[in-house]
Structure 1
Amino acid sequence: MEDEKSKAMDDLNVQSLLEDLKDPDQDVRQRATDELWHLWFEQKGIVGLEQIRRAEACQQAGKMAEAERILTQLIQDLPDFAEAWNRRAVLYYTTRQFKKALADCKRAIRLNPIHFGALHGMGLCYAALGDYRLAIHAFRQVSKIQPYSLENQRLILEFTLRL
């Protein structure tokens, strides 16, 4: 019963944060964005967060294979951890493995349909693969969640011009 109450409170909190992403006040939107990232990174507690941090440290040090190994193991251990999929997608995107990055973005989105980072990443992957129509579609999906994001609006315009 306590878990159900906690889940309901979390859902209400997330819904409130999603509404705040549509607020005209930039400070309100930034707070909501930061809080959603915080929730996503800590979805699986300290163990998941520590592994993501280890992988990011490896990535920043140029140890891409080690970062990939850590994230892949994390995904195997916690396959419903959307942020692990998203972090590996970022790794794959930065190493120009766009099809792998796209697949991981899609998995993150299946697990967390409001994950604006993974949706944005999906758009970047489609664009890198030359599929501007699907890139535009992805950025429009993100814009429904973050309507004030100038970056997403800019990318929609940029890729519309390329069609």
Structure 2
Amino acid sequence: MHRRHFLIHIAAFSLVATNPAAVMADSLGPREKLFMALKNARTEREGRVAENAVWQWWISQAPTPEVREAIDYGMKRRESYDFEAAETAFDIAVREAPTYAEGWNQRAFARFLRDNDDGALSDLEMAVELEPDHFGAWSGMYHLLMRMGRPKAAIAALSRAVEIHPWLKERGMLPPDPDAKRPLVKGKQQDL
């Protein structure tokens, strides 16, 4: 566990060190450094590296080894398409650590896969309440709200996700800004 925290700190440092805003980063904590690197990524590759570091950091924030074990087990069960067992594992994480945003986010994904839209939406709302910059939860909310037939709310959620993570894979799903000459989407520089 200590090695993982060390690697996350090294990733945050290296991401911020390649960024011009790094001079300001000396007084920032690991979370702030990770999000600064994500926001200021200049290429798709830098964005992916920063994104992966943020995900690792979120998962590493499990408050106890038991909660981390439940998260890891749930993710393994989900990868094996055993969505019911995954949700049960994430139930444990949420029950044992109700202020751990990633537990709610992971359970929301399992619920989404089980077509429990109301449960998934409730979990995603809790995840972003606990971690307002959780681009994964905002992006998940986009997919869920689209499925629920709520496109305006979905676009608002995706806009928030892209504001946090400009290189988010789903960024191309945003409609172009009608008042701009260029799309809102980073990485697409053609005129409309």
Q: Name the TM tier (shorter chain).
A: 0.7 to 0.9
How far, CA to CA, are the matches of 2:74 and 2:137 in structure 1? 17
1:78 is matched with 97
Match of 1:128 in 2: 147
- In structure 1, distance between residues paired with 2:140 and 2:95: 22
CA distance in 1, matches of 2:28, 2:97: 21
Count residues in correspondence.
150
In structure 1, C-alpha distance between the alignment counterparts of 2:55 and 2:79, rounded to whole Å: 19
Correspondence for 2:35: 18
**Mapped partners of 2:107, 2:28: distance in 1:** 26
Give 1:35 deviation, angstroms.
1.2
More helix by share: 1
1:31-42 mapped onto 2 (5 Å cutoff): 31-42=49-60
Q: Give the counterpart letter for 2:53 in structure 1.
A: E
Q: Output the aligned Cα RMSD.
A: 2.3
What is the match of residue 5 of structure 1?
none
**Aligned AA for 1:80?**
T
Q: In 2, Cα distance between the equivalents of 1:143 and 1:127?
A: 16
Tell me by how many angstroms 1:89 deviates: 0.5
- Following superposition, which runs of at least 4 residues in structure 1 exceed 6 angstroms of deviation? none
The normalised TM-score by structure 1 is 0.82
Gaps of 5+ in 2: 1-25, 177-192
CA separation in 2, counterparts of 1:10 and 1:62? 43
TM-superposed deviation, 1:157: 2.5
- Mapped pair 1:48 → 2:62: no
Correspondence for 1:6: none
The question of whether the paired residues in 2 share the 8 Å contact of 1:127 and 1:135 is answered with yes
Q: Is the 8 A contact 1:99 1:125 kept in 2?
A: no
1:118 aligns with 2:137: yes
Q: 1:142 aligns with which of 161, 180, 188?
A: 161
Q: Which has the larger radius of gyration?
A: 2
Note the alpha carbon deviations across 1:12-64, whole angstroms, 9 max, x for none.
Answer: 22222212113213333222211111111010253322211111222233332
Give the counterpart letter for 2:30 in structure 1.
N
Contact 2:162 2:168 in 1 (8 A): yes
Structure 2 distance, partners of 1:70, 1:41, is 14
Tell me whether 9-18 or 118-127 shows the greater mean CA deviation. 9-18
User: 2:174 aligns to what SS in structure 1?
Assistant: helix
Match of residue 78 from structure 2? 59
Q: Decide whether the 8 Å contact of 1:109 with 1:118 is kept in 2.
A: yes
